[in-house]
Amino acid sequence: MNEVFEELRTALYSVWHRRWLALAVAWVVCILGWLVVAMIPNTYESKSRIYVEVDDILTETTVGGVGNGKQEIMKVRQTLASSVNLEKVIQSTKLGEEIQDRSQMEAAIEKLSKDVEVSSEEDNLFELTASVGEGDYSDAENAALSRDVVQKLIDIFREENITGNDRKIADSIIFLDEQLAERKLELETAEQKRLAFESQYPELIGGSTTLATKIQQARTELRGIDGDLAGAQSALAAVEGQLASTPPTISSGFTPAAQESGARAALSRAQAQLAQLRGRGLTDNHPDVVSSRRQVAILKRQAAGEKAPTATTNTQPNPAYSSLIAIKADRQANVQAMNASRAALQSEVAGLMASQATEPEVAAQANRISRDYEVLKKNYDDLLNNREEIRLIGDVETNQSAFKFDVIDPPVVPRKPAAPNRPLLLFGVLFIGLGAGAGAAFAMSQMRSTFSTTAKLERSMDLPVIGVISMTMKEAGRALQAKRLKQWAGATAALVGVFVILLVIEFVQVGAVA
């Protein structure tokens, strides 16, 4: 421990013995260091907090989820400080005054991208920070420029995402209108070509696919007519059978008393009723016909046991027979009409099949014309639907924008620089200067073969020191020594005074900017 203490005393004595060298080195280091610190421009930082809300129920439900919140928030993070936006900021502020070519612009964008930071405090809350410290500008200009950078980024974002949407939608509608006009002309040309072909080949309207469909439809319709014709012929045969069993006339001429009380009169009425039922087209299995036939059979047995009336009998036309004749004529006409339709369909099927077999090239041309027309029509309809959807989106965003953009903390001109911490740097330079001076003095003492204490001399020579001769100075020497000490103290105080003056200047400059 004593040796360490002795070494410390030796070092202090060496520095003190060469204190003027230490002070000179300290002055040189401090002056140079303070000049470097003075050349470092102040960096001013401006901040702003913005709130972006994209949850819009009307937009999401009307246009199919255009305002997807998570996607739009991600878009804000990616585009708020993008290179394109930073280039617009440089061009619209003082940062772009000295830029002459693209390489300078790219360098300025790269530098500004490091000075601009976008941080997300919450999902919808963003903090935008810009730091500006250009050596070519004054502190006041740097402070104002940091505020301008943040404000310009906010303005660009608002313009692109709110005002810019209307312009983009309008441009899209104009583009779609131009495309629709071109597609309309192409569609009209295709329609004229299709009409000319159809007027020449009406059976091939729609192409070979439509021709096959027509053949299939005609065959299906023919099978239906065959079924209806079979039913009509069966109904005609049933009427003819009923007509064969129905007498054309019925007897009449009984006396009133006989007609009112005799079984023969009742039998005549029952037979007339049965004829009317058959005239209505009812078959023998119908319940009413079965009941009438039973009644007629009973009355016939009763009439057989009665005495024949003495009065003469007369005949008259049977109304049931007349009705059956009319029904037969109607059903014969129906059968003839169905036969005519069947013959026409058979002829049509034969013609369609002949066209399909004898004109393959014409059918292929019909296919091309029909296909081209359908493609053009589909493209035209799709463009028309897209234009209406985009127009609807524009109407929704005009009435209620998907973005709700609020500036919670607007950017302001900073009053104090954010960097560097100049007072701390000045003090650090002073500390380094004093340390450098002491180090230089100590190094110089180590280069000289002198001994500061007797103990060091004994260790170095490995010989005992018998005694020490003290230096004795006269009065004039002591006065000169005191004077030089005062001069050294004054020079040291001057160094500290320069440090204090620099601190005062720094605070005054900061206050002037504020």
Tell me: pLDDT of 446 over 80: no
Average pLDDT of the residues in 158-182? 72
Cα dihedral 261, 263, 267, 268 sign: negative
Question: Smallest Cα–Cα separation from 319: which of 262, 293, 288, 280?
Answer: 280
215 lies in the same domain as 358: yes
Bridge partners (DSSP) of residue 250 are 316
Q: Average pLDDT of 25-30? A: 94
Identify the top-confidence range among 120-129, 160-169, 302-311, 356-365.
120-129
229 found inside a domain:
yes
**14-18, 183-187, 387-391, 442-446 — which one is most confidently predicted on average?**
183-187
Answer whether residue 65 shows pLDDT above 50.
Answer: no
d(CA 392, CA 398): 10
140 and 54 in one domain? yes
What local confidence, expressed as pLDDT, does residue 161 receive? 65
Residue 317 main-chain phi, psi, to 5 deg: -60, 140
Q: Residue 317: which of 249, 267, 367 has the closest Cα?
A: 249
Residues 6+ apart with CB under 8 A from 353: 215
Report pLDDT for 452. 62
Residues of the domain holding 293? 210-371
What pLDDT is recorded for position 499?
A: 92
Give me the pLDDT at residue 41, please: 84
Q: Both 91 and 177 in a single domain?
A: yes
> Within a domain: residue 200?
no
Could you tell me which of 388, 405, 390, 391 has the C-alpha nearest to residue 56? Answer: 405
Mean predicted confidence (pLDDT) in 21-47: 90
pLDDT in the model for residue 66: 42
- Predicted pLDDT of residue 449: 58
pLDDT per position as a tens digit, 280-319: 766 777 777 777 777 777 777 777 766 555 545 556 777 7
Kindly report the CATH number assigned to the domain that includes residue 154. Answer: 3.30.1890
Same domain, 154 and 75: yes
With the C-alpha atoms ordered 296, 299, 305, 309, is the resulting torsion angle positive or negative?
A: negative
Condensed to tens digits (0 to 9), the pLDDT of residues 232-287 reads 888 878 877 777 777 777 765 544 444 444 566 777 777 777 777 777 766 777 77
pLDDT recorded at residue 257 = 45
Q: How far apart are CA 198 and CA 35, in angstroms?
A: 95
The pLDDT assigned to 259 comes to 45
Predicted confidence band of residue 63 (pLDDT cuts 50, 70, 90) = very low
Written as six digits, the tokens of 218 are 């005609």
Residue 62 has pLDDT above 50, yes or no: no
Look at residue 152 and tell me whether its pLDDT is greater than 80: yes
Query: Of 351, 386, 419, which closes a domain?
Result: 419
Residue 132 lies inside a defined structural domain of this protein: yes
Between 4-18, 213-227, 255-269, 355-369, the lowest mean confidence (pLDDT) is in 255-269
The pLDDT value recorded for residue 74 is 66
Q: Mind listing the pLDDT tens digit for each residue in 81-105? A: 788 888 888 888 888 888 888 888 9
Does residue 327 lie within any of the structural domains? yes
* pLDDT of res. 420: 84
Is 382 a domain residue?
Answer: no
| pLDDT score, position 64 | 42
344-353 mean pLDDT: 76
Phi, psi of 87, rounded to the nearest 5 degrees:
-65, -40
What is the total count of domains within the chain? Answer: 3
Q: Does 190 fall in a domain? A: no
The span from the CA of 365 to the CA of 363, in Å, is: 5
Closest C-alpha among 18, 57, 168, 105 to residue 404: 57
Residue 393 within a domain:
no
Q: What is the SS3 assignment for 251?
A: strand
How many other C-beta atoms can be found within 10 angstroms of the C-beta atom of residue 249?
A: 11
Q: Is 113's pLDDT higher than 50?
A: yes
pLDDT digits (tens, 9 = 90+) for 464-504: 877 777 767 678 877 887 888 899 899 999 999 999 999 89
Query: Is residue 241 located within the same domain as residue 356?
Result: yes
Asked if 228 and 329 sit in the same domain, the reply is yes
Sorted by sequence, the CB contacts under 8 Å of residue 124 that are 6+ apart come out as: 51, 52, 53, 73
Looking at the structure, do residues 282 and 253 belong to the same domain, yes or no?
yes
Written as one letter, the residue type at 483 is K
The proportion of the chain whose per-residue pLDDT surpasses 90, expressed as a percent, equals 8
- Place 424 in a pLDDT band, splitting at 50, 70 and 90: very high
Pairing of strands 116-120, 44-53: unpaired
* Residues facing 128 on adjacent strands: 48, 118
Indicate whether 133 and 176 sit together in one domain. Answer: yes
pLDDT at residue 15, as a whole number? 78
Residues in a beta bridge with 94:
none
Domain boundary among 371, 389, 410: 371
Q: What is the pLDDT of residue 436?
A: 92
* Residue 49 and residue 31 share a domain: no
Residue 384 counted as domain residue? no
Same structural domain, 214 and 335 = yes
Q: Summarize pLDDT for 352-394 with one digit per residue, the tens.
A: 666 655 556 666 666 677 778 788 888 888 888 887 877 776 6
Where a domain ends, among 361, 392, 419? 419
Whether residues 31 and 46 fall in one domain: no
Query: Which stretches of 421-453 are DSSP H helices?
Result: 422-447
Residue 54 has a pLDDT of 60
Same domain? 228 vs 124? no
